[in-house]
Chains A and B, each alone.
Chain A
């Protein structure tokens, strides 16, 4: 499988296998960048994997006041789910519980598309009859009276069915510390790519999973082939010099965005070099039979 080496880093000749997802984007604003970030962070909490969280969500980027609809500091958030119904459910629950409740917040569509999801249209009933609709041009907003003034929320946000979830990089290093530094470096580079999120903590997952388990009813279990402590006990995928593995999972609004993110991550890892960072880079797949999107590492190298 291993056929490439770039600046001393071994690159597996493999591909990341990703899946089509439904996604939307929101713009959350507040009186200060701190509170916009707070609302966005709260809303995207517990949203690392659709397997257990219902959706995958994260902050795409921070927005300057001139980039937001109301001229206040803001944050763009992306939310991904496996179905439109689940995405709608997650959106309503998360905006309702985490953004509506956050001081000074407002929430707007972060993507325009023909198909839409209900945003303010679903939350307006919180106004208990005192909600006010305001249509300005082609956009409609809801104003809900709340205890610090009003919560302004756009009526709908766009839905894209062209989103991709599950782009990934497996970063393998000599020690846990070096591997973590490499993963942090790659995650930071990917954060600068527009229209993608890395939904795991700090953008990094340490508990990569395989499909199935020895236990009935458990859909996913630890990826034993990449667990360094099991090297002798299972059919391992690790070399003798690998002491730790971390994974970066990438969701994007488009397939091109995911490819750009993986390209940026790989470039950052190569720049960091094998002495301080990754000795080897791989990618997770299911043999190519499950996900329609394949990202070959050799095609994305710097």
Chain B
């Protein structure tokens, strides 16, 4: 069935809250009803019909065309169905998602996948800071699901992550996996300073050339672990290079000993 398509006519003058435009909130609505949905984030009213051309279709498959970085909270609260974005998105894409699939065929701003609980987010270019991380006042970040970024990501990827998996196929900024509680983060290329900063539990896998670890991580030797085979098989369905990266011997560092110290960082040994 044809997807429901929203085509952005022009770059909006204000940032837009796109959270109402998710499949479960569009289901059963007519074109006129969708056109009246308010998206403004300032005192200037702005409805869907004012800025988007709407082509009705199956509301479980929504497509946003001509997107730009002023569209915030795209796919926020997604529960099921599919949302595909052609272009960039602003902050908080896929925040608090519990299911479904969000695909961004461009760059994503900060807090993409923030505190999500389920579903899959795929970002074809780069993601901003605090990918999967919590908002101010929240104590836990991502709690489930999978995020795959085909490009790089900013600082504090997987901050306070509790469960789920994040794969960054490119590089990432400083403090990757900071304050992790559990879950898995895989970064295929170089990561910035102090990965795993204050992580309590959880697993971080880093690519070659990453910055030196904090001295509060302890070398536990190189191992070929069965658990990495399971991780590899699981992640291969989302990222083949990540699946390959988890094969072979990996050097395990336990930490962060500045806190609980039951987390782990794996670094490839090339064997």
Chain A residues near B (Cβ < 8 Å): 29, 69-72, 106, 129-130, 132-137, 141, 143, 149-150, 152
**Contacts A/B (CB < 8 Å), 29 sampled:** A29-B226, A69-B233, A70-B226, A70-B229, A70-B230, A70-B233, A71-B229, A72-B229, A130-B262, A132-B201, A132-B227, A132-B262, A132-B264, A134-B203, A134-B227, A134-B231, A135-B163, A136-B165, A136-B230, A136-B231, A137-B234, A141-B230, A143-B225, A143-B227, A149-B225, A150-B227, A152-B225, A152-B226, A152-B227
Shortest CB distance B228–A (Å): 9
For A71, A136, A143, A149, which residue has the most chain B Cβ atoms within 10 angstroms?
A136
B interface residues (Cβ-Cβ under 8 A, vs A): 144, 163, 165, 182, 184, 201, 203, 223, 225-227, 229-231, 233-234, 262, 264
In the complex, residue of chain B having the shortest beta-carbon distance to the beta carbon of A68: B229
Task: Taking A29-B226, A134-B203, A136-B231 as given, write out 10 further A-B residue pairs in contact, using a Cβ cutoff of 8 Å, ordered by the A residue number.
Answer: A69-B230, A69-B233, A71-B233, A72-B226, A72-B229, A130-B262, A135-B163, A136-B234, A150-B225, A152-B225
Give the CA-CA distance A72 to B223 in the complex, in Å: 17
CA distance A143 to B184 in the complex (A): 14
Are A150 and B226 in contact, with the CB atoms below 8 A?
yes
- CA A247 to CA B262, docked complex, whole Å: 54
Tell me whether A106 and B226 are in contact (CB under 8 A): yes
Main secondary structure of the interface of A (DSSP, over half): strand
Whether A134 pairs with B184 at a CB distance below 8 angstroms is: yes
Complex Cα spacing A133 to B165, Å: 13
Provide the residues of chain B in CB contact with A137, threshold 8 Å.
234
Partner of B227, one of A129, A130, A135, A141: A141
When distances are taken between beta carbons in the complex, the residues of chain B under 8 Å from A150 are: 225-227
Question: B227: which A residues are within 8 A, CB to CB?
Answer: 132, 134, 141, 143, 150, 152
Q: Which residues of A contact B163 (CB under 8 A)?
A: 135
Shortest CB distance B260–A (Å) = 10
CB-CB < 8 A to A135: which residues of B?
144, 163
A106 to B230, CA, bound (A): 11
The answer to whether A133 and B182 touch across the interface, beta carbons within 8 angstroms, is: yes
Q: How far is the CA of A149 from the CA of B184 in the complex (A)?
A: 20
Closest beta carbon of chain B to A103's beta carbon, Å: 12
Shortest Cβ distance from residue A140 to the other chain B in the assembled complex, whole angstroms: 10
Residue of A nearest to B254 (CB): A130
Q: With A149-B225, A150-B225 as known contacts, state yes or no: A134 contacts B201, CB within 8 Å.
A: no
Taking each of B144, B227, B231, B233, which has the highest tally of chain A beta carbons within 10 Å of its own beta carbon? B227
